[in-house]
Amino acid sequence: MTEARFVPHRDYVRLPEDEMRSRAHGFYELVRRRRTIRDYSSEPVPTDVIEDCILAAGTAPNGANRQPWHFVVVTDPLLKGKIRSAAEQEEREFYEHRAPPEWLEALAPLGTGPEKPFLETAPVLIAIFAESYELLPDGNKLKNYYVNESVGIATGILITALHNAGLATLTHTPSPMGFLNELLGRPQNERPFLLLVVGFPAEDATVPDIVKKPLDRIATFAGERAREAGAKGQGPMRATARRQPAS
């Protein structure tokens, strides 16, 4: 059994409360400007920016520190073309046969369809793979833990890091995505998680006119405040609307 080894946590920085507040609000101001973009310019993206964003993703909390992810960066036009053809084949199947009417109804406000030109126009695709298990040199399998949660968190950090660096993204999920293993030569212990499209928005890019839910619909502050409210017969309290920005 490997022994736990601890070192002092020297990287932690305690912030004064006013700075906590200003950073929390500043971060929200930054991330609320992120939109999923479907129209890209073909302008290339500096590779070192992508590398740093992937390093940031790799800091994600994850099950037993197995870091069960792998990121494949694709910029080659030929490979992007192959990915587009394979993805569109799956998407045509989805939109024309597989998707139930309720799903198509849910997608209608987003204006999506089987055509995926962005898979070729955008300068970078990042295929994210989840490692369900590790293949040991002796051929044995070492199980990973909380793989979806881990890779989901890493992907969230990646998207946020790219946005912070001034890049737009689209989380694309052709289903099934098995063709990515074949086209990108990834081993059987890796399952395609999603395909992230990365680049600069086209000058005439548009986004769907949709809004995010306000705080009082996405959060409930349970505990003392809930008990106080309960005493007044209001039941558990939802977060009060503080600074609700116009979205």
Which chain residues interact with ligand IYR by CB under 6 A?
Answer: 91, 94, 107, 110, 112, 172-175
The CB-of-34 to ligand IYR minimum distance in angstroms stands at 15
Nearer to ligand IYR, 36 or 181 (CB): 36
Q: How many CB atoms lie within 10 A of CB 192?
A: 21
**Residues 118 and 81 sit within 8 Å (Cβ to Cβ):** no
SS3 state at 103? helix
Whole-number minimum distance, CB 48 to ligand IYR, in Å?
29
Minimum CB separation of residue 172 from ligand IYR in Å reads 5
DSSP secondary-structure letter at 4? P
Nearer to ligand IYR by C-beta: 41 or 112?
Answer: 112
Residue nearest to ligand IYR (CB): 112
**Min. distance of Cβ 94 from ligand IYR in angstroms?**
6
In whole angstroms, the minimum distance from the beta carbon of 95 to ligand IYR comes to 7
Nearer to ligand IYR, 174 or 192 (CB): 174
Nearest to 118 by CA among 43, 195, 200, 197: 197
Which is nearer to ligand IYR, 129 or 237 (by Cβ)? 129
Closest CB 25 distance from ligand IYR, rounded Å: 28
CB of 67 to ligand IYR, least distance (A): 27
Which of 72, 67, 70, 54 lies closest to 144, judged by CA? 67
- When the beta carbons of 41 and 175 are compared against ligand IYR, the nearer one is 175
Calpha distance 24→164 (Å, rounded): 15
Dihedral angle of Cα 74, 186, 176, 65, to the nearest 10 degrees: -100
Q: Which is nearer to ligand IYR, 16 or 100 (CB)?
A: 100
Phi/psi region, residue 12 (left: phi>0; alpha: psi -120 to 50; beta: rest), is: beta
Q: What's CA 169's distance to the chain center, in Å?
A: 9
Q: How do beta strands 69-74 and 124-131 pair?
A: antiparallel
Q: Please state, in angstroms and rounded to a whole number, the distance separating the CA atoms of residues 135 and 149.
A: 20
Smaller CB separation from ligand IYR, 66 or 163: 163
Cα angle 194, 196, 198 (rounded to 5 degrees) comes to: 175
Q: Strand, helix or coil at 37?
A: coil
